Amino acid sequence: MAVYIKSKREIEGIRAASRILAETLATVEAEIRPGVSLNELDQVCESFILSHGSTPTFKGYHGFPAAACISVNEEVVHGIPSERKLVEGDIVKVDIGVTKNGFIADAARTFEVGKVKPEVHSLIRTTEASFRAGATNARAGNRVSDIGAAVQHYVEKKGYSVVRELCGHGVGLKLHEEPSIPNFGRPGRGVRLKTGMTLAIEPMVNIGGFEVATLANGWTVVTSDGKPSAHYENTILVTDGEPEILTLQNG
């Protein structure tokens, strides 16, 4: 398994793409409200990315038709934007890739639409916290499975389940690089992490069971039991200590 260690120049390029991605997420968050369509949100993302000298990585990737993956409620990931309008109580996941000067960043957030049920609010907060639990283990000398083991432990301790059929990945020069980063498993296994690796860590957490299915469109992944799912992702840089979270505005 070939895992590419980024040079200082490459890391700076990925940082630049990450900054634009973080700003894109903040911009689209401000537009999320009841009555807005998924296509409108996608257009906000695409326009912002293009206006900052970048391109939306997902658009055209294996034929994906939009700039952002936008998934609602029981849709886990890879939702295709449409004229569907958000309503009070929905949760919407926005997953974006940004390419700038050949360097790529990838991140996702789950946003609340108005007031959501307390258990759904808790799901979102748990998903974000599980990312942080996993990312803390993304340091030189540890192994890839240390990340997923920490995510799974945190999620299941809170009474939720972590999706097993989808995983995080290396990122930076390509959208999907080695290594794959499952969000579950036993610690101490897999590739040893090294300074200079750039990774997309992305827990996907369900209120119900971990089982998922893919819709007939070939893209959208949904929970098998129809219960809500949340997604939280950042591109991070592995260091000798705490990782640098590149796709946070203050990261």
Residue 89, in any domain of the structure: yes
User: Could you tell me if residue 120 is inside a domain?
Assistant: yes
What is the model's pLDDT at position 218? 97
Q: Is 31 annotated as a binding residue?
A: no
Q: Distance between alpha carbon 67 and the CA centroid of its chain, in Å?
A: 14
**Within-domain flag for 77:** yes
Helices (H), the chain: 8-29, 38-51, 118-135, 144-157
The torsion angle over the Cα atoms of residues 133, 138, 144 and 146, rounded to 10 degrees, is: -40
2 lies in some domain: no
To the question of whether residue 156 is assigned a binding role by annotation, the answer is no
Domain assignment present for residue 217? The answer is: yes
Domain count, the chain: 1
Q: Of residues 81 and 1, which shows the higher confidence score? A: 81
pLDDT interval class at 249 (50, 70, 90)? confident
pLDDT digit string (tens) for 177-233? 999 999 999 999 999 999 999 999 999 999 999 999 999 999 999 999 999 999 999
Closest listed residue to residue 166, CA positions, set 110, 221, 230, 92: 221
In a domain, 140, yes or no: yes
CA-closest candidate to residue 128, choices 234, 243, 239: 234
Q: Has residue 250 been placed in a domain?
A: no
202 annotated among ligand-binding-site residues: yes
Range of the domain at 26: 8-245
Residue 59 lies in a domain: yes
240 labeled binding residue: no
- pLDDT of 67 > 60? The answer is yes
Q: What is the CATH number of the domain that holds 91?
A: 3.90.230.10
The response to whether 52 counts as a known ligand-binding position is no
pTM (two decimals): 0.96
pLDDT at residue number 31:
98
